[in-house]
Amino acid sequence: MNRPIEIKKHPFPSLLYLEWILLAITALTAVIPPPLRRFPHKPPELSICDIFPDLSICNLLPELSIYSLIIFALMGLRLPKNNQITKVIYTVIEILLILTTGLFGERFARLFPVLYIILVTRSCLIFKLPGRLFITTLSFTLFLVTTQLKYQLFNYQASPQAQERDRFFSWNWSLTFGLSLVFVLLMMNAVLSERHSREKLAIANEKLRQYAMQIENQATLEERNRIAREIHDSLGHSLTALNLQLETALKLWQSNPGKAETFLATAKELGSKALKDVRQSVSTMRFNPLQEQSLERAIANLSESFHRSNGILPIYQINLESSLPPEINTAIYRITQESLTNISKYALATEVKLELTEIRGNLRLIIQDNGRGFDLRQNTTGYGLHSMRDRTLALGGEFNINSVPGSGCKITVNIPLTRLT
């Protein structure tokens, strides 16, 4: 349950300070003597008790008005926030205190309309728009009733000319006060709307910041997974084989030094290959292959590199109708690179075909080899396959792999371009 609005958490401290200033001005009217009467026909400032001195409540004046004003001021330190019944009770008490000050306050009554302005200001902080309109209308109505009641009571002995003049000033003052209430209501609505917009913007910025952090963390995690795949697939395999060669060489060193030397030579070759894999991984992390060249040129370089390493020149066909977004270019390049790497390491293929075509808003990549293949039920959880599948799904595409032991492997990637434009 939310707590009431307190002075330390007041949404508009400047309004609270202004409220105190208005209340202080109202209180000063109780000690400042009234101005000299320049108009002999103007009636003296009276209260209801001057007209009805027999009222029992009149014995408590002026203490009652002073206490009412003090209570009204202290109520501004804690405003109800959520409970609708509490808000209504709070407002009713405020109205009763204002009426008490206005009707029985003698010189307090000079500025009692200021209390209605404060009432409207507070209602804007605790009620929604319908409640604010109701309180503003009620305040103006009570002001009219109070003003006309005092006019009828205090001018019953005045001349007809004085009554007509006072009636004119009374209605003029009422109209001015009503416009003041409307101005206060509009100003508070504008201030609250602007504050609400700022709060929504701050919330949106915070969500955007959190989303950016999630994206950054996701990107970091993906990069870590990629590095883990590189280490597992290349360096890890080479170091494992190197360790086996060294262990065998140590076992044969005493009994068969010549054979042990052969194992050491093989270990040296594996060490050189591991070092080459490390350098290639670091180069891959630092280098953006599509930074200054097209996707066609980058795939051609991959094919040439594959030919130099394996003696097999991939047969590739590329047919693109338009330029692709950078994220698709990068994904296609990495999938092709990962596929050729897997073929080079495990497939023992003699023929590799690559086809990249754009057909009716869809991009299709097919990579096929005639290698030894593998069982899909056992070998679909590797880092490389996961990487290719994740890249495809991130673009809203489909990733399919078909392979049978002894019959090669076929990878098909379909990416819808219309969704990404």
**Distance (Å, rounded) from C-alpha 230 to C-alpha 342?**
11
pLDDT at 175: 84
DSSP-H helix ranges across 2-128: 13-28, 48-51, 63-75, 84-104, 112-126
Q: Which of 43, 30, 53 is nearest to 151 (CA)?
A: 43
Which residue from 63, 75, 76, 55 is spatially nearest to 30, judged by alpha carbons?
A: 63
Q: What does the alpha-carbon distance between residue 327 and residue 363 come to, in Å, rounded to a whole number?
A: 13
**Residue 40 pLDDT greater than 50, yes or no:** no
> Which tokens sit at 293?
């060249």
Q: Cα–Cα distance between 346 and 334 in angstroms, integer?
A: 18
Using alpha carbons, list the distances in angstroms from residue 400 to 370, 388, 393, 415: 17, 10, 11, 12
The whole model's pTM is what?
0.44
Question: Token pair of 148, please?
Answer: 């006309």
Question: Could you say which of 3.40.50.1100, 3.30.565.10, 3.40.50.300, 3.40.50.720 is the CATH number of the domain covering 291-421?
Answer: 3.30.565.10
Tens-digit pLDDT profile for residues 45-84: 445 455 445 544 455 555 677 777 778 878 877 788 778 8
**CA count, 13 A, side-chain hemisphere, 218:** 8
- 376-400 average pLDDT score: 81
Q: How far is CA 397 from CA 134, 294, 353, 366, 414, in A?
A: 57, 22, 21, 14, 5
- Going from N- to C-terminal start, the domains of the chain cover 5-158, 291-421
The whole-number pLDDT of residue 44 equals: 45
Place of tokens 């009716």: 360
DSSP 178-234: HHHHHHHHHHHHHHHHHHHHHHHHHHHHHHHHHHHHHHHHHHHHHHHHHHHHHIIII
CB atoms under 10 Å from CB of 191, counted, come to 14
Q: What is the rounded average pLDDT of the residues 129-154? A: 80
Number of Cβ within 10 Å of residue 89's Cβ equals 12
Q: Could you identify the residue written with the tokens 């056992």?
A: 378
Q: Using the predicted structure, report yes or no on whether residue 378 has a pLDDT greater than 50.
A: yes
Average pLDDT over residues 143-153: 70
**Confidence category of residue 25, pLDDT binned at 50, 70, 90:** low
* pLDDT band per the 50, 70, 90 thresholds, residue 341: confident
**Buried residues in 9-29 as b, exposed as e (16+ CB within 10 A):** ebebeebbeebeebbeebbeb
